A and B are shown apart, each in its own frame.
Chain A
Amino acid sequence: MKKKRKLVKQIQYEIFFLPALIAFTTFTVIPLVKTIMYSVTDFNGISHEYRFVGLKNFIGVFQDEVMRQALFNTLFYTFCTMLLINLLSIPLAIFLDKKTRLKSAERAVFFFPSIVSALLLGYIWGYILSPLPTGAANSLLGAFGVSPIGWTSTSWGARLCIIGVAVWTSTGWHATVYLAYLQAISSEYYEAASIDGASKWKQFTQITIPMLAPGFTVNTLLLLTNGLKVYDLPYALTKGGPGFSNYTVTQVIIQRGISEKQYGASTALATIFIILVMVISCVQFMTMRKREEDIS
């Protein structure tokens, strides 16, 4: 009787979990299972008939030059944005933490770029970084007698422009996360360090940085997952060009699947990518956690 009552009580709480479970299963688990299922078939998205083709699609992923290039671009983008945004957002957070009269305005200015859709920003920056002499940046340079720069017209130029715009867009947002962690650091630590004669730099490296470790974990994980699935900004800025030199994995998945109707190849790449993201995220998370424990 007691057991039954306990079970009923437990079920009462579990019911609250049900809507989330249904939504998660419908929108994540089922599509994921279907993706894996289609990756071993020649499904084209329009015909009801499809055959089992084994690992052919997976082998094709590594033979396809476009997919290899996209994989490189995605990893390069993720690594660069993760590094640069972290490097810039910590000093920015410290700057925003200062008690000035314009504190709110300063925070709003730096946070603003992250509110606007990446697609819209991509189109705006596309106009600014147009390689034509009439582009905004080139017009400005022209006023100082500088010849027009090709910006997005070369592979590496476009790649660096994409990273530059991504860093500009996201630094403010990630600085806000660091700001929250900064504000949680007790001023007593700094007071004690000052009494002990620690310099500002020593205080920064010995107190601020270690205390920001949890924020670093959160930001790095977010930058890693967002970087690996990036699509909108590179597409809006360069459409993946010139040629396919700036394609990202997500763009190839969408293009192969939706435009080219090669759902088999597309889902095989998606499956490989899911595994890759899971492995990278787990390794990164565990490493960071261990580092946090070591510091504390």
Chain B
Amino acid sequence: MKRKIVSLILTAVMLSSILTGCGGKASEGATAESSKPAEETAASEENAPEAESADDSEASEPADDLSGTLSILSWYDETKAAPVLEAFKAKYPNVTVDFQYSPPVADYVEKLSTLLYSGAGPDIFYMALENREDLIKGNYVEDLSNEPYMTDGTIPDSVKTTYGADGKAYSLAVDCWVGGIFYNKDMFEQAGITEEPKTWDELLEVCQTLKDAGIQPIMDNCQDAAVNFTAPLYGSEVKADNANIVQDIFEGKATFKDTWTTPIAMWKEGLIDNGYLTADMVGATGDEVVTAFATGQVAMILSGSWNLNTIDTINPDMNYKCMGVPGTDETYYCGAINVGLCINSASQNKELAKAFLEFAASPEGLEAQYKGYGGFTIADGFTPEFPEEIQEAVANVKAGKYYIPMADWLSYTESLRLTYIQSLQDCMVGTITPEEAATRLDDKLAEVSAE
């Protein structure tokens, strides 16, 4: 009998806890808007213009009108994302962010693809050059073309071109990275070099002068498709004369062989055949190259803005700067627009997702992203002070003097990127010629586009 009473009490407790739990969940999931009494909602609609202007004047005031849970698959880890999430939480205290992180690039792209394919995609995620085509063609992303930040000039047109298709914009990218030749000013001075090289021939002369002075002139492991010599050379030698050349290649009117052989040959004949870059560098890791530069073993390396902190940590007193890769007439940099936020087209929380993106495009959101992610803000509304070493590079990238092939290869990006890197490495160790390296890209394009 006792047992029965105890069981009955326990059952009652469990049932009541289940019911309470359900109630709690429901109220948590619903937006404040929907739970408002009808009269209150009508009143707030009538007062909409006033409310909007009040919002503008007090941008950093917490917004209580939204609540619920917003899921995000982040490209950046918890530490980097913390300033953004904290600032968003301060603005929308009733919104809970379900934060997930997957390390870029391959893991992130794979995890996102699997989630989207199985219909379990997060409300917000990132679009990168590597998954841009899949997301847009698969209709997984919401069109953002008519969002205020896209129409009022906050986001530059280059973002809409990079992460858009058919005149529509699908991603909110607010910053960029820059790269180029990082050179040691003291070593240049030691070798008697007083000016930065303005042309490709001058760069080769600089290399020879450094070599004659007993200084290792340059180092590159040729493992990065985004930061290498051939990409900016393609920008200055080919793209500058014909902006639509890549489109022509994809439409079969031109070939990679016709257009890529020149920059690859300039790099091979100028730097490798003259012994400034050597085949053994292919086996070096990126960290080794940066360490060699920061410890004064080499005068120049190809690098990106993400290595500024590493260099400063290894050698805080180092006197260096980032310059572009000079071509025949023009100087181009490495660089690209960073990954951008997207809204899942199948999201059940589009209102919250839109609020998050609007926040990300606002001055406070831009500042938080700069603080957390460290990219160079290109969106209008927040102008950070860039490190001295990179200031000129950022200005040039903003002016469009940069080239990254993956931004141009709108289709089969990853297949072409891998072939590009493999071919450059083979060219560097001397197993293939520049022409063969360029032809491999044509072969790859033919192979993947035939599928």
Interface residue ranges, A against B (CB under 8 Å): 42, 44-48, 53, 60, 64, 66, 126-127, 129-132, 134-135, 148, 150-155, 158, 238-239, 241-245, 255, 258-262, 264-265
In the assembled complex, B24 has its CB within 8 A of some CB on chain A: no
- Contacts known (A46-B138, A134-B288); A242 close to B280, Cβ less than 8 A: no
Verify B281–A132 contact, CB threshold 8 A: yes
Q: In the complex, what's the smallest C-beta–C-beta distance from A237 to chain B, in angstroms?
A: 9
Given contacts A241-B422, A258-B106, contact A42 B279 (CB under 8 A): no
- Cβ-based interface call for B158 (8 A): no
Q: Which residues of B (340-386) have their CB < 8 Å from a CB of A?
A: none
Q: How far is the CA of A238 from the CA of B422 in the complex (A)?
A: 12
Contacting A at CB under 8 A, from B418-448, are 418, 422-423, 425-426, 428-429, 431, 447-448
Chain A residues with CB under 8 A of B138? 46-47
17 contacts between A and B (CB under 8 A): A130-B284, A130-B288, A132-B280, A132-B292, A134-B292, A153-B281, A158-B283, A241-B282, A242-B279, A242-B282, A242-B426, A245-B431, A259-B109, A260-B418, A261-B113, A262-B448, A264-B451
| Complex partner residue of B425 from A243, A258, A261, CB under 8 angstroms | A243
Residue pair A150, B117 in contact (C-beta under 8 Å): no
Contact string against A for B residues 212-229, beta-carbon threshold 8 Å, 1 for contact and 0 otherwise: 000000000001000000
Which residues 264-296 of B sit at the A interface, judged by CB distance below 8 A? Answer: 279-285, 288, 291-292
In the assembled complex, the CB of B180 is this many whole angstroms from the nearest CB of chain A, namely 22
**B88-111, CB under 8 A of A: which get 1 and which 0?**
000000000000000000100110
- The answer on a CB contact under 8 Å between B414 and A259 is yes
A47–B140 CA distance with the chains assembled, in angstroms: 10
Taking a contact as CB atoms closer than 8 A, the residue among B283, B422, B423 that contacts A153 in the complex is: B283
Across the interface, name the chain A residue whose C-beta is closest to B427: A243
Bound-complex Cα distance A255 to B109 (A):
12
Q: Residue B285 contacts which of A53, A126, A150, A258 (CB distance < 8 angstroms)? A: A126
Tell me the bound Cα distance from A270 to B325 in angstroms: 42
B418 proximity list for chain A (CB < 8 A): 255, 259-260
Interface string of B119-149 (1 = CB under 8 A from A): 0000000000010001001101000000000
Given A153-B429, A255-B418, 8 other A-B contacts at CB below 8 A?
A46-B116, A155-B429, A239-B223, A242-B429, A243-B425, A245-B431, A259-B130, A262-B448
Nearest 7 CB-CB pairings of A with B: A243-B426, A131-B280, A152-B283, A153-B283, A131-B283, A153-B280, A243-B422
Q: When chains A and B are docked, how far (Å) is the Cα of A280 from the Cα of B282?
A: 35
Find out whether the CB atom of A154 lies under 8 angstroms from the CB atom of B448: no
Inside 8 A of A243's CB, which chain B residues have their CB?
422-423, 425-426, 429, 431
Whether, in the assembled complex, B297 has its beta carbon less than 8 Å from a beta carbon of chain A, the answer is yes
Are A259 and B134 within 8 A (Cβ)? no
Q: For residue A132, which residue of chain B has the nearest CB? A: B284
Residue among A53, A126, A148, A238 making CB contact with B280, cutoff 8 Å: A148
CB–CB A262/B283 < 8 A: no
Query: Is B415 interfacial (CB-CB < 8 Å)?
Result: yes
C-alpha spacing A150/B412, complex, angstroms: 34
Neighbouring A residues of B282 by C-beta, 8 Å: 131, 153, 241-242
A244: chain B residues at CB < 8 Å are 422
Query: Across the interface, do B134 and A46 meet the contact criterion of CB distance under 8 Å?
Result: yes
Q: Give the size category of B's interface with A.
A: 35 or more
Main secondary structure of the interface of B (DSSP, over half): helix
Taking CB atoms, residues of chain B closer than 8 Å to A242 are 279, 282-283, 425-426, 428-429, 431
A150 to B429 alpha-carbon distance, docked (Å): 11
Contacts of B448 in A (CB 8 A): 260, 262
Q: How far is the CB of A164 from chain B (nearest CB, A)?
A: 15
Nearest A residue to B135, CB-CB? A46
* Alpha-carbon separation in the docked complex, A265 to B431 (Å): 26
CB of A40, distance to nearest CB on chain B (Å): 13
CA distance A134 to B285 in the complex (A): 12
Alpha-carbon gap, A243 to B418, bound state (A): 9
Give complex CA distance A155, B283 in Å: 10
**Is the Cβ of A151 less than 8 Å from the Cβ of B283?**
yes
What is the bound-complex CA distance between A135 and B283, given in angstroms? 11
Q: How far is the CA of A12 from the CA of B6 in the complex (A)?
A: 35
What distance in Å separates the Cβ of B160 from its nearest Cβ neighbour in chain A? 23
Interchain CB contact under 8 A, A265 and B283: no
Which residues does chain B contribute within 8 Å of A238, judged by CB atoms? 283
Contacts of B130 in A (CB 8 A): 259
Residue among A130, A152, A258, A261 facing the most chain B CB atoms (10 A cut-off) = A261
Q: Let me know if B223 and A265 touch, CB within 8 A.
A: no
B residues 235-281 near A (Cβ < 8 Å) are: 279-281
Q: Which residues of B contact A53 (CB under 8 A)?
A: 451
Q: Given the complex of chains A and B, what is the CA–CA distance between A243 and B430 in angstroms? A: 11
The complex places the Cα of A241 from the Cα of B425 at a distance, in Å, of 8
Residues from chain A with a CB closer than 8 A to the CB of B110 are 258
In the complex, what residues of A have CB within 8 A of residue B223's CB?
Answer: 239, 241
A253 CB → nearest B CB, Å: 13
A181–chain B nearest beta-carbon distance, Å: 40
* C-alpha spacing A131/B283, complex, angstroms: 6
Closest to A63 in B: B447
In the complex formed, the residue of A with least CB distance to B424 is A243
Q: Residue on B with the closest CB to A148?
A: B280
Closest chain B residue to A244, Cβ basis? B422
Residue of chain B at shortest CB distance from A254: B106
What's the minimum C-beta distance from B355 to chain A, rounded to whole angstroms?
28
A232 to chain B, nearest CB (A): 14
| Contact A46 B429, beta carbon cutoff 8 Å | no
Contact B113 A153, beta carbon cutoff 8 Å: no
CB distance from A133 to the nearest CB of B (A): 8
Q: Which residues of A contact B137 (CB under 8 A)?
A: 47
Q: How far is the CB of B217 from chain A (nearest CB, A)?
A: 15
